[in-house]
Amino acid sequence: MTVQLSWLGKDAAITMASIPGAGCLNTHGHPVTVDGGNWIIEGDNLPVLQALRPTYQNRVRLIYIDPPYNTGQQLIYNDRHSGRADWLNMMMPRLILAKEMLRDDGAIFISISDDERAALEWVCDEVFGETNALPSCVRVTKRTSNKGKHFSPSHDVVLGYAKDLRQLSEFKDPLTQNSPEYRRLFRYSDAKGAYNRVALYMPSLDTRPNQRYWITCPDGSRVIPPEGKIFRWTEPTFLDKQGLGYVEFIQTNRSPLWDDAGGPAKWNVYTKLYLEERLEKGLRPTTVLSDNRFTNASGSKELIKMGIRFPFSKPRALIQYLAAMMGVASGDVVMDFFAGSGTTAHAMMSLNPLIEWILVQNSEPIPRRYLVGNPQVETIADLCRYRVNLACEGLQDPLRDPIIWREAIYG
């Protein structure tokens, strides 16, 4: 039986998901239908999601959200909820609506810190179903810090849930496989191309039947794993792959294998891992997001270059990576309903201008102390539109149609 978290106000929060708001989406007072294309919608995301439900139900491929972490601080946006229950009451109906928006092969990723991570996981398990949970990812947020009494927090977490895990396609790491460091690992080559050697015998492998056998080396001597140890492949697989040219014998005086006399062998046996074959299959992304491009500093730096100050924006590279690894493609819809400075739109435009995106950001005024270092805007929604405009200009390609986005206000 699934264990559920209870808190004060939970039932009412669940009901909120199904009560439509009284307002509508409009542009300069005229009602608009948000159906297709790129949009920045200003307003509280709960009634906005309700307003979008009829058109976007089961249509969204990826939802990325970065909600206030409930740190109890007044940041450039308000991050003070009166307590955990209050924060969960805010999140619950929005998550229920998020699930409704997702396509059957869609997924949601949520950035969160330790403040609410545990509670959020319980709630997401309930809303999306435990069986649809993806492994959580740790993002390295900073490299040097000495804040904190016991540990200096230097990561946050990206939780992921599929609408239906069985229908979510395999992820492929778009960064590593294109990186020169990764390609350099394939330092040998033959007629079939670049390859890396992987030892057929690994001491850490658990014993399994039929995986300890004699292999004949080029000089006629034979090798076998030490007593109680095994090769990675069964004998038929080995013979099959050897016939296909995937096996290499290397002479060495440090072989871990035994020879016929029970002493150290003169040969070690390797299998060839070809770069092209590995790329074709795709690399699985690891659950540690440690690339320098994913740190907080990288997000802030990019905004500062654009003349914007929005502490705690997420780096564009992070959201682009998540979408690319899922294979989000032309015509797919991506949603971010805690849009902040609009990083998700920027990330999608740079990944593929034909991905459709919808951002929702409320009209929170920017506190006075954050006005310095920012364009002359009054609310975070203004700042979001400003950034997305700049991003469009920066990405404009004279050979392509200009990227168009529209704005709507919920009221």
Ligand X SMILES: C[S@@+](CC[C@H](N)C(=O)[O-])C[C@H]1O[C@@H](n2cnc3c(N)ncnc32)[C@H](O)[C@@H]1O
- Going residue by residue from 270 to 309, which x/- string records binding to ligand X, judged by CB under 6 A? ----------------------------------------
Q: Measured from the CB of residue 371, what is the shortest distance to ligand X in angstroms?
A: 15
SS (H, E, C) 125-182: HHHHCHHHECCCEEEECCCCCCCCCCCCCCEEEEEEEECCHHHCCCCCCCCHHHCHHH
CA distance 70 to 65: 14
**Sign of the CA dihedral 229, 233, 237, 241?**
negative
Q: Measured from the CB of residue 364, what is the shortest distance to ligand X in angstroms?
A: 4
**Looking at 380, 390, 408, 409, which residue binds ligand X (CB under 6 A)?**
380
Q: Measured from the CB of residue 384, what is the shortest distance to ligand X in angstroms?
A: 8
Q: Compute CA 355 distance to the chain's CA centroid, rounded to the nearest angstrom.
A: 17
Other CB atoms closer than 10 Å to residue 369's CB: what's the count? 9
**Looking at 14, 23, 44, 221, which residue binds ligand X (CB under 6 A)?**
44
**Looking at 25, 66, 200, 269, which residue binds ligand X (CB under 6 A)?**
66
Task: Report 67-126 residues binding ligand X (CB under 6 A).
Answer: 67-68, 77
Stretch that binds ligand X, among 61-69, 120-128, 221-229, 320-328 (CB under 6 A): 61-69
Stretch that binds ligand X, among 221-229, 289-297, 337-345, 388-396 (CB under 6 A): 337-345
Q: Measured from the CB of residue 337, what is the shortest distance to ligand X in angstroms?
A: 6
Stretch that binds ligand X, among 33-41, 181-189, 238-246, 333-341 (CB under 6 A): 333-341
CA distance 169 to 326: 7
Instruction: Tell whether residue 320 is a contact of ligand X (CB under 6 A).
Output: no
- Could you give the angle at which helices 316-326 and 343-351 cross, rounded to 10 degrees? 50
From 215, 220, 242, 251, select the one nearest 230 (Cα to Cα): 215
CA distance 398 to 168: 35
Pick between residue 200 and residue 366 the one whose CB is nearest to ligand X. 366
Stretch that binds ligand X, among 155-163, 229-237, 312-320, 392-400 (CB under 6 A): 312-320
- Going residue by residue from 340 to 379, which x/- string records binding to ligand X, judged by CB under 6 A? xx-x----------------xxx-x---------------
Q: Measured from the CB of residue 378, what is the shortest distance to ligand X in angstroms?
A: 13
Identify the bridge partners of residue 407 per DSSP, sorted by sequence position: 40
Q: Measured from the CB of residue 99, what is the shortest distance to ligand X in angstroms?
A: 17
Pick between residue 80 and residue 400 the one whose CB is nearest to ligand X. 80
Burial (CB < 10 A; 0-12, 13-18, 19+), residue 123, is buried
Contact between 388 and 405 under an 8 Å Cβ cutoff? The reply is yes
Stretch that binds ligand X, among 66-74, 119-127, 212-220, 365-373 (CB under 6 A): 66-74
Contact between 135 and 129 under an 8 Å Cβ cutoff? The reply is no
Stretch that binds ligand X, among 16-24, 182-190, 274-282, 310-318 (CB under 6 A): 310-318
Pick between residue 132 and residue 295 the one whose CB is nearest to ligand X. 295
Instruction: Tell whether residue 47 is a contact of ligand X (CB under 6 A).
Output: no
Pick between residue 130 and residue 378 the one whose CB is nearest to ligand X. 378
The length of the chain in residues reads 411
Residue in the block written with tokens 């995986």: 211
In a 13 Å sphere around the CA of 189, the CA atoms on its Cβ side amount to 7
Residue in the block written with tokens 């700042």: 383
CA angle in degrees (0–180, nearest 5) for 390-67-59: 75
Instruction: Tell whether residue 313 is a contact of ligand X (CB under 6 A).
Output: yes
**Interacting residue ranges for ligand X, rule: CB under 6 A:** 44-45, 66-68, 77, 310, 312-314, 338, 340-341, 343, 360-362, 364, 380
